[in-house]
Amino acid sequence: MKSEGWIDVQIRTVVDPAELLGLLADPVIQGGWEDQGLVHLYWPKPQWSLEARARLFRVLQEFDPNVSSEEDIRVEELPDQDWNRQWAESVKPIRIGRRIVIRPSWESVVLQAQDIEIVLDPKQAFGTGHHATTRMLLEWLEDLIHGGESVLDVGTGSGILAMVALRLGAVSALGVECDPVAVECARDYARENGFGSALEVRCGRLQDVDRQGTLRPDVVLANLDRQTLVQLSDVLARYVGHGARLLLSGILLEQEEEMIEMFSKVRALVVQRREQEGWVAVHLLMAESCEGCLDV
The CATH number for 183's domain is: 3.40.50.150
Q: Would you state the torsion angle of the CA atoms of residues 189, 192, 197, 200, taken in this order, to the nearest 10 degrees?
A: 10
Q: Which residue has the higher pLDDT, 6 or 100?
A: 100
Would 30 be classed as within a structural domain? yes
As a whole number of angstroms, the distance between CA 198 and CA 118 comes to 16
Give yes or no: residues 31 and 130 share one domain.
Answer: no
Task: Pick the last residue of a domain from 49, 83, 117.
Answer: 83
- Of 157, 79, 166, which is closest to residue 124 (Cα–Cα)? 157
pLDDT at position 3 over 60: no
Q: Taking all residues of the chain, what is their mean pLDDT, rounded to a whole number?
A: 85
As a whole number of angstroms, the distance between CA 59 and CA 227 comes to 13
Give yes or no: residues 259 and 196 share one domain.
Answer: yes
Give yes or no: residues 75 and 168 share one domain.
Answer: no
pLDDT at position 71 over 80: no
For the stretch 98-102, contacts whose Cβ atoms lie closer than 8 Å and that sit 24 or more positions apart, written own/partner, are 98/142, 99/142, 99/168, 100/129, 100/138, 100/142, 100/164, 102/128, 102/129, 102/160
Would 31 be classed as within a structural domain? yes
Burial category of 66 from C-beta neighbours within 10 Å (exposed 0-12, middle 13-18, buried 19 and up): exposed
Task: Pick the last residue of a domain from 83, 117, 147.
Answer: 83
Mean predicted confidence (pLDDT) in 132-146? 93
The model's confidence at residue 178, banded by pLDDT at 50, 70 and 90, is confident
Give yes or no: residues 136 and 76 share one domain.
Answer: no
Look at residue 167 in the predicted model and tell me its pLDDT.
97
Would 153 be classed as within a structural domain? yes
Would 34 be classed as within a structural domain? yes
Which stretch of 95-99, 237-241, 251-255, 289-293 has the lowest confidence by average pLDDT? 289-293
Interval 212-267: pLDDT, tens? 889 999 999 999 888 889 899 999 988 988 889 999 998 888 889 999 999 988 88
What string of H, E and C letters represents the secondary structure of the chain?
A: CCCCCEEEEEEECCCCHHHHHHHHCCCCCCEEEEECCEEEEEEEHHHCCHHHHHHHHHHHHHHCCCCCCCCCEEEEEECHHHHHHHHHHHCCCEEECCCEEEECCCCCCCCCCCCEEEECCCCCCCCCCCCHHHHHHHHHHHHHCCCCCEEEEECCCCCHHHHHHHHHCCCEEEEEECCHHHHHHHHHHHHHCCCCCCEEEEECCHHHHCCCCCCCCCEEEEECCHHHHHHHHHHHHHHHHCCCEEEEEEEEHHHHHHHHHHHHCCCEEEEEEEEECCEEEEEEEEHHHCCCCCCC
As a whole number of angstroms, the distance between CA 102 and CA 159 comes to 13
Would 101 be classed as within a structural domain? no
Q: What percent of the chain has pLDDT over 90?
A: 43
Number of domains making up the chain: 2
Q: Which residue has the higher pLDDT, 1 or 149?
A: 149
Give the number of other CB atoms < 10 A from CB of residue 84: 13
Give yes or no: residues 260 and 141 share one domain.
Answer: yes
Q: Ranked by mean pLDDT, which of 2-6, 15-19, 97-101 comes out on top?
A: 97-101
pLDDT at position 121 over 50: yes
The model's confidence at residue 83, banded by pLDDT at 50, 70 and 90, is low
Which stretch of 35-39, 71-75, 279-283 has the lowest confidence by average pLDDT? 35-39
- Of 133, 136, 122, which is closest to residue 21 (Cα–Cα)? 122
Give yes or no: residues 138 and 280 share one domain.
Answer: yes
Give yes or no: residues 135 and 10 share one domain.
Answer: no
Would 274 be classed as within a structural domain? yes
Look at residue 1 in the predicted model and tell me its pLDDT.
38
Would 90 be classed as within a structural domain? no
Give yes or no: residues 142 and 282 share one domain.
Answer: yes
Mean predicted confidence (pLDDT) in 67-86? 74
Give yes or no: residues 41 and 136 share one domain.
Answer: no
Write the CATH number for 74. 3.30.70
As a whole number of angstroms, the distance between CA 148 and CA 218 comes to 9
Q: Packing angle between helix 226-241 and helix 256-264, nearest 10 degrees?
A: 30
Would 104 be classed as within a structural domain? no
Domain encompassing residue 279: 125-289
Give yes or no: residues 194 and 271 share one domain.
Answer: yes
Look at residue 256 in the predicted model and tell me its pLDDT.
92
Give yes or no: residues 56 and 188 share one domain.
Answer: no
Q: Flag whether the pTM goes above 0.85.
A: no
Task: Pick the last residue of a domain from 31, 54, 83.
Answer: 83
Give yes or no: residues 163 and 55 share one domain.
Answer: no
